[in-house]
Amino acid sequence: MKLVYTKSHGRKIKKGDLVKIGDRVLTTDGDPIEVVGLLQPASPASSGKVIVKFLDDIKAGLSGIYTFYVSVIDAEWIEREDRYSEPVLRNCSETFVE
């Protein structure tokens, strides 16, 4: 499972790049943050989370570290093993006639 950006963030980070600890990007609200941790999805229905710290002095002073859904930094998990579905097989004794 990999977390990748769904859109570019400036010149250094492009759409499809892996999200890495230490990346400095903007949130969907335009706030500058640094990625400090990743939480993989807990279930197939979950989107996982990203742990960030704000780089803006005012927001950084509130408590420092925040946890957001990955969509807040325009990212998504790919190659998710928990969402692969096996094909559904019909009863093999059924006869199909044209």
Q: Is the pLDDT of residue 98 over 60?
A: no
Give dist(CA 66, CA 80) in Å, integer.
24
Q: Tell me how far apart the 2 most distant CA atoms of the chain are, in Å.
A: 71
**Residue whose entry in the numeric block shows the structure tokens 């990999």:** 2
The model's pLDDT over 9-47, given as tens digits with 9 standing for 90+, comes to: 888 899 999 999 999 999 999 989 999 999 999 888 888
Q: Higher-confidence residue: 87 or 50?
A: 50
Q: Is the pLDDT of residue 69 over 80?
A: yes
Binned at pLDDT 50, 70 and 90, residue 80 comes out as confident
Are the beta carbons of 51 and 62 closer than 8 angstroms? no
Specify the pLDDT at position 65: 86
pTM for the model: 0.75
Specify the pLDDT at position 33: 92
Specify the pLDDT at position 27: 92
